[in-house]
Amino acid sequence: MFEALKPQPADKILSLMEAYRADPRDGKIDLGVGVYKNPQGVTPIMRAVKAAEQRIWEQQETKAYTGLAGDPAYGDAMIALVLADAVPRDQVAAVATPGGTGAVRQAFEMIQRANPQARIFVSDPTWPNHLSILKYLKIETVPYRYFDAETGGVDFNGMMADLDGLRAGDVVLLHGCCHNPTGANLTMPEWQAVVEKLNAVGATPMIDIAYQGFGDGLDADAAATRMVAASVPECLIAASCSKNFGIYRERTGLLMAVGQDRSRHGVTQGMLAFLNRQNFSFPPDHGARVVATILGDEALRADWAAELEEMRLNMLRLREQLAGELRTLSGSDRFGFLAQHRGMFSRLGTTPEKVEALRRDHGVYMVGDSRMNIAGLNADSVPILARAIIDAGV
């Protein structure tokens, strides 16, 4: 049987990580892998996470399964964090998932079961795993223009023109904040225009929100998601705790299905639980219990929010420093968009050949489409990167 298996293409980011580790040069810079790093180059365990884990260790008395939807306290806490009071709680069905990726996968499967003819409109570019999972599930995808390489911002006119191709029953995948891989985000008026178009056509939004708290703050980063949830008949929201709680390896996510028709809530909740059962049965609990413990305790939540804000401000300082260094070296403000982007990532908008030159000649590792992880920098490496960008003719 195994002889019939075919080699699968290597993951570009994992391959980049391997190449970085094999590079013997001092001063090399890793801007590939999407994890937050502090100025010392470490992905830290947050203070509140350690305190919550200590509390769980002392108090937890069983490792028996949770329910198919996961710990209800976790679901309630995450729904409140993401949606606040935008919609009533009884309009939200939710299940815990193995990370944000698990939530995305379950959402795609739910769409497929609800409407096998649905097409999913996806930003160009988007997180590569979106496209990989959609291809694996054989769901038709339609790209819509998003990033303007000339300005480093959103090509909103192109996006709206492409969304003119929507049909009733289609789904539009949107990034709630801190767009991956570009760092360029819609303004609130642009979000509202998208919602109006979806409602006019009868299309459904799906929001992937993986970086809440990394852009402009916890509430500001969720503002668009809350507005969408309150303004459409139905939407799907895939949330991740990997970044804002720093619990990457605990695989902690949540899928929410928001519907104004309360009579469908029970069926929707049952379908989400069914999909969990078919894919992995009971979701992992440790990370979810950590999150629920933090969000349910006033002191832990305050400490977590303070440390998250430190991380956010660190990335903003790095963005501003990099834009300033490039302004000095280039004599222009053509890289000013880097300071306007939000989240961990920015896309330079250059060619794969120049990205390769950055790696070959300067030891700077970023994804071939010129996505770079701002959190991989520190105050000392920013000037080195800026000089490399200029010398490579980006």
Q: Where in the chain is the domain with CATH 3.40.640.10?
A: 65-296
How far is Cα of residue 379 from the mean position of the Cα atoms in its chain? 25
Alpha-carbon distance 137 to 296, whole Å?
37
Mean pLDDT of 338-363: 95
CATH class of the domain defined by 65-296: alpha beta
Q: Are 106 and 69 in contact (CB under 8 A)?
A: no
Q: Are 155 and 189 in contact (CB under 8 A)?
A: no
pLDDT > 90 fraction of the chain, expressed in percent and rounded: 94
Out of 48, 203, 210, 357, the active site residue is 210
Per-residue model confidence (pLDDT) at position 17: 86
Q: Are 170 and 201 in contact (CB under 8 A)?
A: yes
- Top pLDDT among 214 and 34 is at 214
pLDDT > 70 fraction of the chain, expressed in percent and rounded: 100
The yes or no reply on domain 11-44+308-391 and CATH 3.40.1030.10 is no
Residue 319: which residues within 8 A CB-CB, separation 6 or more? 338, 339, 341, 346, 374
Q: Where in the chain is the domain with CATH 3.90.1150.10?
A: 11-44+308-391
How much is the mean pLDDT over the chain?
96
Per-residue model confidence (pLDDT) at position 12: 80
Out of 148, 155, 170, 208, the active site residue is 208
Number of H helices, E strands in the chain: 14, 13
Mean pLDDT of 107-120: 97
Out of 93, 94, 127, 292, the active site residue is 127
pLDDT of 342 > 90? The answer is yes
Alpha-carbon distance 26 to 304, whole Å?
34
Question: 53-80: per-residue pLDDT in tens?
Answer: 999 999 999 999 999 999 999 999 999 9
* Kind plus residue range of the DSSP H or E element containing 141: strand 141-145
pLDDT of 11 > 90? The answer is no
Tokens standing for residue 196:
């109006």
Alpha-carbon distance 78 to 84, whole Å?
9
pLDDT of 88 > 90? The answer is yes
Per-residue model confidence (pLDDT) at position 13: 81
Alpha-carbon distance 107 to 118, whole Å?
13
Residue 208: active-site member = yes
Question: 146-156: per-residue pLDDT in tens?
Answer: 999 999 999 99
Question: 159-197: per-residue pLDDT in tens?
Answer: 999 999 999 999 999 999 999 999 999 999 999 999 999
Out of 224, 243, 257, 369, the active site residue is 243
User: In the chain, helix, strand, coil percent, each to 5?
Assistant: 50, 15, 35
Predicted TM-score (pTM) above 0.85: yes
Within the chain, residue ranges assigned H as helices are: 12-22, 47-59, 72-83, 99-114, 128-136, 156-163, 188-201, 218-231, 265-279, 286-295, 298-330, 337-340, 352-362, 381-391
Between strands 364-365 and 29-30, the pairing is: parallel
Alpha-carbon distance 204 to 258, whole Å?
11
Per-residue model confidence (pLDDT) at position 14: 81
Alpha-carbon distance 83 to 320, whole Å?
30
Per-residue model confidence (pLDDT) at position 10: 80
Mean pLDDT of 354-365: 95
Question: 262-278: per-residue pLDDT in tens?
Answer: 999 999 999 999 999 99
Residue 243: active-site member = yes
- Top pLDDT among 196 and 34 is at 196
Per-residue model confidence (pLDDT) at position 9: 84
